[in-house]
């Protein structure tokens, strides 16, 4: 068994430095195999110069994150989209 | 202002002959961007693809039959640990690259599992790099990149790609896995080139 | 939850309470703590005098509603941070923490579903936060805790679990994997389908399941839950990594 990975909870702290919402609760789609799920349900390789988040099914890279001293980089090309739950509100009408 | 934690000293120690910002360690941390590839030895190959697309492949037995060296080198990881006087056995890239290159241009190194890293060709030559398959007298363990990894100790350790499967020679440079996400394109620990713009 | 980005803040150790020979609870003063959900964790950062820093995550052990939070840390072999927190830290010491973090492995006390908690070793910590939060909020959801541990002297919160078990809708079962207490009527062994069937809610109860501990335990326990018929959507897991903590 590959014991080197942790689950997506590992991502939560790093992402909360960047975003005001808990990104691990967002649902996404793997751009490689199409699997959908919450970002908390992924494999996170954290013993690295950055975080590498992989699909729990196909193991392809979903997301990569590097934290420098005064900058951070986030690559999300492995995730097709993210769906965030938000408090219910009417959607404004667009138009004249 | 970061608060200092009384009574905490951690594993790393500072030392005078280390590159800036590094801490000395006695253990050998295992860092990885993905699962350890497990590919049968009889299917392991090392391939150099030239700029014109020619492929030169060595099977595992062929690689083992090449003249080997036993360098002792210091390792410097960008995550700040350094490990000194590590001993390896491997084939020099001078032997593998031999007549395939005029020493100009770049290489993209590929690993089993998809990891990549880029280097200028001169940094792989003149005794500065090896395909290493033994560490401290034993076959290189999988968690440290076995059966074979690239070893380029004059640059940060992310350039010493584990589970190496080959390299593609390129006329123009292209960033690899970490170089495309903030890590320095060259990575000289003595000039502390950790991130873009350093 | 929090409307802004999370930043490091300084925390001061108020008290240290040994739980077992290798685990301690640290009571921490955190100014303006915004509160937390049971199951959430914090990141802890220690800085040595020479600038060397180390960072780890620890689950919050306490129920919310106070200006202090409690972390229970179990010493990990060769662990530089856990060794400091368990053996060295004393009242007045300071380090940095950031949190609360993680909405996925959190239990909200408005839930009325039966709660099935599977703990492996130090994985008991966030699950204990759930039990404590439930008690503090007066929530009546029935709880079954299955706590897998190597030996009786490694049980964290032993006294508190003795008091809580059998009362107020909380049932506690132990699985001893290496050595058992005096008079225990089973040999040591890992959690398996039959032990789970005896100790846990059946799938028909549709419990919310939370599994926490080292990777090996979490994999095995989650597989057992699915094999027993629990819906995967009702199973939430948190892995601590191979050595736990």
Whether C47 sits inside 8 A of B3 (CB atoms) is: yes
Distance from CA of A86 to the nearest CA of B (A): 30
Tell me the residue ranges of DSSP E strands in chain B.
23-24, 45-49, 55-59, 72-76, 81-92, 106-111, 116-120, 130-135, 138-139, 149-151, 164-170
Bigger pLDDT: B119 vs C77: B119
Distance from CA of C6 to the nearest CA of A (A): 5
Cα(A52)–Cα(A77) distance, rounded to whole angstroms? 12
Q: What is the CATH number of domain B43-191?
A: 3.90.420.10
Q: How far is CA B16 from CA B21, B24, B78, B126, in A?
A: 11, 10, 18, 27
| DSSP-derived pairing of the beta strands B130-135 and B149-151 | antiparallel
B31 interfaces chain A, CB cutoff of 8 Å: yes
B36 interfaces chain A, CB cutoff of 8 Å: yes
Residue C3 banded pLDDT, cuts 50, 70, 90: low
Share in percent of chain A as helix, strand, coil (round to 5): 10, 35, 55
- Beta carbon pairs, A and C, within 8 Å: 65
Whether B34 sits inside 8 A of A59 (CB atoms) is: yes
Give the chain B residue nearest A3 (alpha carbons).
B35
Residues in chain B: 198
Question: What residue has token string 């994985």?
Answer: C123
Question: Which chains touch A (3+ CB pairs under 8 A)?
Answer: B, C
What's the pLDDT score for residue C240?
87
A10 interfaces chain C, CB cutoff of 8 Å: yes
Name chain B contacts of C10, Cβ cutoff 8 Å. Answer: 3
A82 interfaces chain C, CB cutoff of 8 Å: no
- Tokens of residue C155, six digits: 């049980």
Q: Which of A45, A47, A73 sits opposite B181 (nearest CB)?
A: A73
Cα(A44)–Cα(A11) distance, rounded to whole angstroms? 7
Distance from CA of B100 to the nearest CA of A (A): 32
User: What does the pLDDT average to over C205-219?
Assistant: 95
pLDDT at C28 over 90: yes
- Categorise residue B126: left if φ over 0, alpha if ψ from -120 to 50, beta otherwise: left
CA dihedral C55, C59, C65, C66 (to 10 degrees): -50
Please answer whether residues C8 and A67 qualify as being in contact, where contact means their C-beta atoms are separated by less than 8 angstroms: no
Cα(C166)–Cα(C149) distance, rounded to whole angstroms? 20
Q: Of A2, A6, A50, A70, which to mutate for an interface test with B (greatest number of B Cβ within 10 Å)?
A: A50
Whether A49 sits inside 8 A of B79 (CB atoms) is: yes
User: What does the pLDDT average to over C52-71?
Assistant: 90
Residue A94 banded pLDDT, cuts 50, 70, 90: confident
- Beta carbon pairs, A and B, within 8 Å: 55
What's the pLDDT score for residue B29?
87
What's the pLDDT score for residue C242?
59
Q: According to DSSP H, which parts of B91-132 are helical?
A: 93-97
ipTM: 0.88
Whether A16 sits inside 8 A of C216 (CB atoms) is: no
What's the pLDDT score for residue C163?
95
pLDDT in tens, C73-128: 999 988 899 999 999 999 999 999 999 999 999 999 999 999 999 999 999 999 99
Cα(B50)–Cα(B38) distance, rounded to whole angstroms? 27
Give the chain A residue nearest C98 (alpha carbons).
A13
Q: How far is CA C32 from CA B23, B132, C3, C65, in A?
A: 35, 53, 15, 12
Whether B3 sits inside 8 A of C80 (CB atoms) is: no
Q: How many CB atoms lie within 10 A of CB C169?
A: 16
Q: Of B160, B182, B185, B189, which to mutate for an interface test with A (greatest number of A Cβ within 10 Å)?
A: B182
Cα(B11)–Cα(B29) distance, rounded to whole angstroms? 11
- Classify domain C9-101 at the CATH topology level: Elongation Factor Tu (Ef-tu); domain 3 (2.40.30)
> What are the extents of the domains in chain C?
9-101, 115-239
Distance from CA of A23 to the nearest CA of B (A): 20
Cα(C193)–Cα(C210) distance, rounded to whole angstroms? 17
What's the pLDDT score for residue B146?
92
Cα(C86)–Cα(C76) distance, rounded to whole angstroms? 10
Output phi, psi for C163, to 5 deg: -70, -40
Residue A30, C-beta contacts closer than 8 angstroms, at least 6 positions apart: A36, A55, A57, A58, A60, A62, A78, A79, A80
A84 interfaces chain C, CB cutoff of 8 Å: no
DSSP summary character for residue B13? B
Cα(C154)–Cα(C121) distance, rounded to whole angstroms? 8
C59 interfaces chain A, CB cutoff of 8 Å: no
Q: Distance between alpha carbon A82 and the CA centroid of its chain, in Å?
A: 8
pLDDT at C244 over 50: no
User: What does the pLDDT average to over A66-80?
Assistant: 94
What's the pLDDT score for residue B90?
98
Whether A49 sits inside 8 A of B35 (CB atoms) is: no
Q: How far is CA B134 from CA A16, B31, B151, C26, in A?
A: 42, 18, 11, 45
Restricting to C residues 16-55, those with a Cβ less than 8 Å away from any Cβ of B are 46-50, 52-54
pLDDT in tens, A51-71: 999 999 999 999 999 999 999
pTM: 0.88
Nearest to C156 by CA among C219, C70, C88, C241: C70
Please answer whether residues B18 and B78 qualify as being in contact, where contact means their C-beta atoms are separated by less than 8 angstroms: no
Whether C94 sits inside 8 A of B11 (CB atoms) is: no
Residue C245 banded pLDDT, cuts 50, 70, 90: very low
CATH number of C115-239: 1.10.10.10, 3.40.50.80, 3.40.720.10, 3.40.50.720? 3.40.50.80
Please answer whether residues B148 and B132 qualify as being in contact, where contact means their C-beta atoms are separated by less than 8 angstroms: yes
Q: Of A43, A49, A64, which to mutate for an interface test with B (greatest number of B Cβ within 10 Å)?
A: A49
pLDDT at A3 over 80: no
Q: Which of C43, C104, C219 sits opposite A1 (nearest CB)?
A: C219
């Amino acid at each position: 068994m590959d014991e080197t990975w942790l689950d997506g909870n590992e991502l939560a702290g790093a992402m909360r430095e960047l975003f005001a919402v808990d990104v691990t609760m967002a649902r996404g789609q793997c751009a490689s195999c199409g699997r959908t799920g919450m970002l908390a349900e992924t494999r996170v390789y954290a013993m690295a110069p950055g975080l590498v988040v992989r699909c729990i099914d196909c193991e392809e890279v979903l997301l990569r994150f590097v934290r420098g001293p005064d900058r951070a980089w986030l690559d999300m090309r492995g995730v097709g989209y993210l769906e965030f739950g938000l408090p219910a509100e009417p959607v404004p009408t667009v138009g004249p | 202002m970061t608060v200092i934690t009384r009574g905490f000293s951690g594993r790393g120690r500072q030392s005078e002959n280390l590159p800036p910002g590094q801490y000395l360690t006695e253990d050998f941390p295992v860092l990885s961007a993905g699962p350890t590839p497990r590919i049968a030895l009889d299917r392991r190959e090392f391939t150099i693809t030239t700029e014109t697309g020619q492929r030169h492949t060595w099977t595992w037995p062929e690689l083992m039959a090449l003249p080997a060296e036993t360098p002792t080198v210091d390792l410097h990881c960008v995550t700040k640990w350094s490990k000194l006087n590590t001993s390896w056995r491997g084939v020099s890239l001078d032997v593998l690259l031999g007549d395939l290159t005029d020493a100009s241009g770049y290489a993209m190194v590929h690993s089993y599992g998809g990891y990549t890293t880029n280097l200028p060709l001169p940094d792989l030559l003149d005794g500065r790099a090896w395909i290493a398959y033994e560490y401290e007298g034993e076959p290189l363990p999988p968690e440290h990149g076995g059966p074979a990894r690239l070893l380029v100790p004059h640059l940060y350790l992310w350039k010493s790609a584990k589970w190496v499967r080959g390299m593609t020679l390129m006329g123009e440079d292209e960033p690899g896995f970490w170089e495309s996400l903030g890590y320095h394109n060259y990575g000289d620990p003595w000039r502390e080139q950790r991130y873009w713009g350093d | 939850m929090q409307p802004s980005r999370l930043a490091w803040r300084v925390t001061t150790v108020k008290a240290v309470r040994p739980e077992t020979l290798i685990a301690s609870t640290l009571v921490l003063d955190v100014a303006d703590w915004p509160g937390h959900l049971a199951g959430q964790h914090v990141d802890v950062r220690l800085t040595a005098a020479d600038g060397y820093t180390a960072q780890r995550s620890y689950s919050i052990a306490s129920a919310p509603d106070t200006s202090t939070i409690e972390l229970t840390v179990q010493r990990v072999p060769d662990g530089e941070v856990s060794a400091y927190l368990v053996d060295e830290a004393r009242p007045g010491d300071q380090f940095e923490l950031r949190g609360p973090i993680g909405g996925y492995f959190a239990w909200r006390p408005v839930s009325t579903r039966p709660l099935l908690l599977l703990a492996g070793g130090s994985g008991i910590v966030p699950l204990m936060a759930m039990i404590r939060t439930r008690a503090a909020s007066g929530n009546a959801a029935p709880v079954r805790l299955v706590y897998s541990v190597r030996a009786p002297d490694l049980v964290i919160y032993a006294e508190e679990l003795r008091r809580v078990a059998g009362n107020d809708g909380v049932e506690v079962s132990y699985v001893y994997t290496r050595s058992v207490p005096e008079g225990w009527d089973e040999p040591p062994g890992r959690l398996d389908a039959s032990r789970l069937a005896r100790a846990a809610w059946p799938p028909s109860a549709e419990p919310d399941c939370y599994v926490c501990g080292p990777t090996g335990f979490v994999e095995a326990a989650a597989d057992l839950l699915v094999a027993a018929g629990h819906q995967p959507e009702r199973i939430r897991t948190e892995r601590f990594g191979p050595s736990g903590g």
